[in-house]
Chain A
Amino acid sequence: MKVHVKHWSAVAQWRWNTGNSEEDDEGDVCGICRVPFEGCCPSCKMPGDDCPLIWGECSHVFHMHCLLKWIGTAASKQQCPMDRRTWVTAERKVNSNDRS
């Protein structure tokens, strides 16, 4: 017998590729707003491309809007809120994000 698939309407969830292990099913939350990455930051209504993530060289990931807001405050001293190293956006990720 041969099985020919003619049409498959499947269902999938998307996840941010944060580099964490695939098994981590619960997903990570943004260190600033404590909302899951797949959710959206407090100032957004639509998740995903409308509320992207930002990856730092220091390996920490945040909602982009959350981080930019943080960086915009004087108290931040342009540092990553997690490890107090100067924030440097990981190039590759951001570029690919912009492209989408």
Chain B
Amino acid sequence: MATNAVRAQVGAKWQESFARLNRGEPGITGLMAFSEAWTLVTEFLRPRDITDPTPPKQYNMQQVRAAFDIINKCRRLPVMLEVFLDDMRKCQHLITREVEAHMTLYETTPDPDTIRKLVFRLVEWYNAWLPIRERVTPVLGPTIISAYTLAFQTHLFSVLPPTFAGGIKSLVAASLVHVASQPAGPPDMTLWAAFETLSLIDRYETLIASVGYEFIESYVLETCAGKWTEPMLATLRTWMVDRVVPWMILPYARGATNADEAKSMMQGVGSRFDFHLHKTLCDLRSREIFDIIVDFPESVGALQDLKECLQRVDQRAELVQALRRANKKRLLHPGADTKDILTQYVSTIKCLRIVDPPGVLLFKVADPIRRYLRDRPDTIRCIVASLVGDGESGDSLVDESEPILPLQQPEMENYSDPEWTPEPIDAGPDFRANKSSDVISTIVSIYDSKDLFVKELQVLLAQRLLVVKDGNFDRERRNIEILKIRFGEPALQVCEVMLRDMTDSRRIDQHVQSQNATIMHPTIISRHFWPALESSDIIMPGQFQALQERYAKEFSVFKPDKVLRWLPHLGRVHLELELDDRKIDADVPPLEAAFIELFSDKDVWTVDDLISRVGSVSRSAALKALATWVDMHVLKEDDENVFRLLSVAEEPGTRHVPKPAEELPSIVSVQQQQAEQMRVYWKFIEGMLTNLGQLGLDRIQTMLKFAPGYDQTIEQLGNFMEAARREGLVTVKDGMWKLGR
């Protein structure tokens, strides 16, 4: 069906091809030469099986080069390349076999050396098949090589199993360990050259980097975990230079001719590794931060490291998170002592000041601790105890060397200060920079007002003053002077009066003793200036009452316009009991003294009779007082609630009553006082709720404000109402309170 036109076209094509292949040679000699050259070259290029023991055929390179020339002249090289690649594809099963053999071995015994052998073997294959072993075709050389390499690698990577990546990783790791363990030895370049040939470096770049990262990580963990006394960063950096950098040169600075070149090639990866070093250390220290703080000040080294790391690595938020978590888990729970929480808080303040001088981290970490401490009932007591240096507990929160400063109020920013700097970038909106304030100011600022401290201080001081027996108040005076500097003089006026009461009492006592010597040495206190002392209506019997009366009379002679009102339940009495067969020396509270005085009239008493003789005293207090004597084998409980004086010592009975611990004078705590105050207002609240049904807390507060002397905050009212709810007096629903049934 071919038309003439088609025929002519085909004819022309054929002519053209012939002319190209024949290159104008006479007859078909050109064509023949080309045919020979083609056969030679394809034979020369054909991929051979290198496992085949027959020696490779030797070629006359002159001829081969000439043949390439002819093909090139005929512009048949691309076609030849196609044919070559096609041949290669047919032989690919050889490589597949090789890979499979090695990988099966590796999978049964994971030894990186197997991988190493495989890599070198693959390089052998690659080189054996490389089409241009000698420079035969300068023209198309690069194209052919890249086409070949691409084809070879494409196939290679398609047959490599996933385990190969793991193999490479362990091989690289092994090389790193090898280099790091003997950095002075000559570097083993062959492996990396082989990787390069197979372009494994590019393919597994992240893998290789991860080997480096993991190596750094494990080293940091091994050397730095739990070692906080010394800064470690400098040592780590030296280690990097000595151990890791020589290895890094192999993959990352291959082909560098001199040190400078190598340096610039490694800059990027070097800083990545350096960053990783810092990050690892930073992570480690963040995890350990709680214990580092516990160990402070032994752990200053670790804190300095952390500071440096944080400047390089932005892990501040993580550090805060870690510490907050640790605090929540290990510190802010009911099992922790308030004192321990405070100590840890103070250490946290000091530690984070080292890490972050502007105090942003501290502010973020401190917030939950402060909130928690605010809810603890005994926090103030603990703080005050440490403020006055409660000697028994040993270490106080306050550093003795720290200068005593007045409490600082948060200052306004001084924008005209040339040294002014803006707040750090991660500071929250309510961040207050309290650069200069000392630890005590920070702790005291947990509470909004320092009045609470002063009140608690008063209670504590009262307890201490009333147990001091030798009249030596130097320590208390010194503490008060120190606290005056902190809290200001007016706040401590009350304490000043208390101290003066003590000295006045001694003076009065000296005078009274000079007029009419007595064994009674009372402390005369100014009420209104002492915390509410639990009132008691004990009536001291017998000689005690006589003593009281005599002293009070003598006092009124000395100070005619004043009278004494005894607080008989306070103080201590030193007694000597003269029994039939023995004498007993005892130092006891007044109630005990009162009871034993009663026993001097009559040998057997029931508890109820005893109580009625000394006025109102709680039964438990009475039993406790009696137990003291039972314990000293002065009394014996024959029947229940009937006590008998042991005029003659008896064998100690089997019943043993544990001796009650010596107690501090019972002074009503601030909380009890508050509760007492609120009780007055309960009547008002009850009336309100009866008349108006249900009310919200703020409504109750507003109405209570009309009541005389009402000075409670709405929080205090809330606490009170909550307490009332627990007692079942009121119920609350959706913030509305109403009377319970």
Minimum Cβ distance to chain A for residue B217 (Å): 67
**Bound form: Cα–Cα A17–B565 in Å:** 11
**Bound form: Cα–Cα A49–B559 in Å:** 9
B149-197 residues at the A interface, CB under 8 angstroms: none
In the complex, what residue of chain A is closest to B520 when comparing beta carbons?
A8
> Once the chains bind, are B577 and A13 in contact (CB under 8 Å)?
no
B300-329 residues at the A interface, CB under 8 angstroms: none
Minimum Cβ distance to chain A for residue B612 (Å): 20
> Once the chains bind, are A12 and B578 in contact (CB under 8 Å)?
no
Taking CB atoms, residues of chain A closer than 8 Å to B529 are 39, 47
Given contacts A5-B543, A16-B561, A36-B528, is CB(A10)–CB(B523) below 8 Å? yes
Given contacts A8-B520, A12-B524, is CB(A53)–CB(B561) below 8 Å? yes
Taking CB atoms, residues of chain B closer than 8 Å to A39 are 528-529
> Once the chains bind, are B560 and A12 in contact (CB under 8 Å)?
no
> Once the chains bind, are B525 and A12 in contact (CB under 8 Å)?
yes
Interface of B, secondary structure class, is mixed
- The reply to whether the CB of B378 lies closer than 8 angstroms to some CB of chain A is no
Given contacts A5-B573, A11-B523, A11-B571, is CB(A17)–CB(B563) below 8 Å? yes
B511-525 vs A, CB cutoff 8 Å, 1 = contact: the mask equals 000000001111111
- The reply to whether the CB of A75 lies closer than 8 angstroms to some CB of chain B is no
Taking CB atoms, residues of chain A closer than 8 Å to B542 are 3
Taking CB atoms, residues of chain A closer than 8 Å to B497 are 45-47
B6-14, B45-53, B250-258, B594-602: which lies at the A interface?
A: B594-602
- The reply to whether the CB of A9 lies closer than 8 angstroms to some CB of chain B is yes
> Once the chains bind, are B562 and A10 in contact (CB under 8 Å)?
no
> Once the chains bind, are A8 and B571 in contact (CB under 8 Å)?
yes
B600-617 residues at the A interface, CB under 8 angstroms: 600
**Bound form: Cα–Cα A93–B523 in Å:** 25
Interface size, A (range) = 20 to 34
Taking CB atoms, residues of chain B closer than 8 Å to A46 are 496-497, 500
- The reply to whether the CB of B548 lies closer than 8 angstroms to some CB of chain A is yes
**Bound form: Cα–Cα A48–B556 in Å:** 14
> Once the chains bind, are B575 and A4 in contact (CB under 8 Å)?
yes
Given contacts A2-B578, A4-B575, A6-B574, is CB(A13)–CB(B526) below 8 Å? yes
> Once the chains bind, are B548 and A14 in contact (CB under 8 Å)?
no
A22-55 residues at the B interface, CB under 8 angstroms: 27, 36, 38-39, 45-49, 52-53
Given contacts A3-B575, A5-B575, A96-B561, is CB(A10)–CB(B590) below 8 Å? yes
**Bound form: Cα–Cα A14–B528 in Å:** 11
> Once the chains bind, are B600 and A38 in contact (CB under 8 Å)?
no
In the complex, what residue of chain B is closest to A61 when comparing beta carbons?
B561
> Once the chains bind, are B526 and A9 in contact (CB under 8 Å)?
no
Taking CB atoms, residues of chain A closer than 8 Å to B563 are 14-17
Taking CB atoms, residues of chain B closer than 8 Å to A100 are 558-561
- The 6 A-B residue pairs whose C-beta atoms are closest, nearest first, are A11-B570, A7-B574, A96-B560, A10-B522, A2-B578, A10-B571
7 sample A-B contacts, Cβ–Cβ < 8 Å, listed by A number = A3-B577, A5-B519, A7-B573, A7-B574, A10-B567, A12-B565, A17-B561
